[in-house]
Amino acid sequence: MAETLGNLAVGFGVALSPPVLFYAFVGCVVGTLVGVLPGVGPLAGISLLLPATFGLDATRAIVMLAGIYYGAMYGGSTTSILMRIPGEAASVMTCIDGYAMARKGRAGAALAIAAVGSYVAGTVSVVALMLLAPPLAAFALRFGPPEYFALLTLGLLVLAYMSSGSMLKALAMAALGLLLGMIGIDQMTGYFRFAYGIVELGDGIGVVPVAVGLFGLAEILATAGQPTPPEIVKPRLRELLPSRQEWRESAWPIGRGTVLGFLIGIVPGSAHIIASFVSYAVERKLAKRPEEFGRGAVAGVAGPESANNSATSGAFVPMLALGVPSGPIPAVMLAALMVHGVSPGPLLVTQQPELFWGFIASMYVGNVVLLILNLPLVGVFVNLLRVPYPILYPSILVFCILGVYAVNSSVVDIWIMLVMGALGYVLRKLDFETAPIVLGVVLAPMLEMALRQSLAMSDGRYAIFVARPISGVLLAGAGALVLLGLRPLVTRTLDWRARLALAAKGEEHP
């Protein structure tokens, strides 16, 4: 412990030196921007700026790239809350309750809670990263395809069990998402599936155009279709800050989101978006009044926004401790280190202590910078809502198209977004939730790949899923959940879903 503190002191010496501080600041600002712009996510931001880091030394380069990464998680919530457009994929869940809060005039509170939640999650998870990286990384590596398959199955069941409203509709949407996720090159055989000769479809349907289309475009279309223009919610200064009750309601979700996000983040191959989905589902399950979810529950903002931030630190665990890329973003960052002649791997901590500890310390500093940067911006961003719709919405549309195009420079992605926008509009009219589609698109390729890799490992024997301890335990959990879901059929008690349906009926027929 004393050694850790000593190392950390060295790290802060590096992180607080003016040039490193400057690049951390630049990274945080760029990250926030990348997060705010719809479509452009941290991967696109880091990829675009990677060449610019080649002239820097390794520490400055990695500090700046990391700043973009976790900065994007801060910024991603902004447009989700204000306009129901996910700034980056991991903020999809924030669209639901964050936007509902904004419609109730609590946009400032939602933004502030998202920022503070991100700060707490960011800082706490860096402590975890610092103290627990080596043992956790060794554990994370034990997640091979069978474990991953079991984890995803469990996750899907948790989400299905906790979806609101009609279970049938939610499952139909998840199935649609899974089907869309099947498009593209079959990674196991090289077949093009449902690509119809369009080479770009070989990579499948990306989550960014789907999320921006289903949430953002659909919202714009729906607003345009209203007979009377929606009232402009003019925020008053007094209402910018969360109330005492809102703080109380978000304290535990922030804590749980932090732990969940970190644990999901360390598993190689998983995405932040899954961390935020699971956190949302857990919060709804634990809430005293789950019927408030979807109508502006603070916990529905606090949990997912904390989870996607701490997942970032979690993703650094295998990268720093073992030199193993846990996802596309850490992979680009590892490449950045290699360009500077630093070989990332288990020996990094001992061979490059200044880089390692400087990096850790810069994450503490960066999170403070982001909080200072984001809280005053709440006031600025909220004022965007004063812009009249005829000006605001067309400009958003332009940003959506630019952002989605920027990710892959692909016109096909714009078409996907437009089609998803139209689909999202129709589904909204018919009262379907669209979040499960996004989840399906994300999960389908991962789930399929993990299943088929497992079977390739075992030569087709399904026993591999129960024979391996971690996947066995996870699948047992999934089985228990299925049984729990069947309980109401047997005991005839009303669960909250049924109560919710009754309440809705009561509203319609007073």
Partner 1 sequence: MTLARVCALVPCLLLAAAAAAQEPYPTRPIALVVPFPPGGVADLTARPVAAALEKVLKAPVGVVNKQGAAGAVGMQSVATSRPDGYTLLLALSSISIIPEADKLFGRPPAFTVDQFAPIALISADPTILVVPADKPWKTAKEFIEDAQKRPGQIAFSSSGVYGTLHMAMELLSHAAGIKLRHVPYAGAGPALTAILGGHVDALASGPAVVLPHIKSGKLRPLGGWGDKRVAALPDVPTFAELGYRGAEFYIWAGVFAPTGTPEPVLAKLRDAARAAVEEPAFKAATDKLETPIVFKQGEEFRRFFEADARRLGEGVRRVGKVETQ
Q: Which residues bind partner 1 (CB under 8 A)?
A: 47-48, 50-51, 54, 141-145, 185, 187-192, 197, 199-200, 202-203, 268-269, 318, 322-326, 328, 331-332, 334-336, 338-341, 343-347, 408-410, 449, 452-453, 455-457, 459-460
CA distances from 213 to 221, 244, 403, 505 (A): 10, 35, 12, 31
Residue 347 or residue 387: which is nearer to partner 1 going by CB? Answer: 347
Supply the minimum distance, in Å, between the C-beta of residue 328 and partner 1: 8
Supply the minimum distance, in Å, between the C-beta of residue 176 and partner 1: 23
Residues 58 and 35: their CA atoms lie apart, in Å, by 24
Helix (H) or strand (E) holding 193: strand 192-193
Contact 115, 371 (CB under 8 A): yes
Residue 190 or residue 390: which is nearer to partner 1 going by CB? Answer: 190
Supply the minimum distance, in Å, between the C-beta of residue 64 and partner 1: 15
Residue found by looking up tokens 């040039």 in the block: 19
Residue 47 or residue 223: which is nearer to partner 1 going by CB? Answer: 47
Residue 165 or residue 345: which is nearer to partner 1 going by CB? Answer: 345
Supply the minimum distance, in Å, between the C-beta of residue 33 and partner 1: 18
Which tokens go with 237?
């200064």
Task: For the chain, give the number of residues.
Answer: 510
Supply the minimum distance, in Å, between the C-beta of residue 189 and partner 1: 4
Helix (H) or strand (E) holding 185: strand 184-185
Main-chain phi, psi angles of 192, to 5 degrees: -85, 125
Residues 471 and 2: their CA atoms lie apart, in Å, by 37
Residue 167 or residue 347: which is nearer to partner 1 going by CB? Answer: 347
Residue 70 or residue 143: which is nearer to partner 1 going by CB? Answer: 143
Contact 155, 260 (CB under 8 A): no
Residue 109 or residue 264: which is nearer to partner 1 going by CB? Answer: 264
Supply the minimum distance, in Å, between the C-beta of residue 225 and partner 1: 35
Supply the minimum distance, in Å, between the C-beta of residue 182 and partner 1: 15
Helix (H) or strand (E) holding 148: helix 145-162
Supply the minimum distance, in Å, between the C-beta of residue 187 and partner 1: 6
Residue 240 or residue 457: which is nearer to partner 1 going by CB? Answer: 457
Counting Cα atoms < 13 Å in the Cβ hemisphere of 294 gives: 14
DSSP per-residue letters across 305-368: HHHHHHHHHHHHHHHHHH----SHHHHHHHHHHHHTT---STTHHHH-HHHHHHHHHHHHHHHH
Contact 36, 74 (CB under 8 A): no
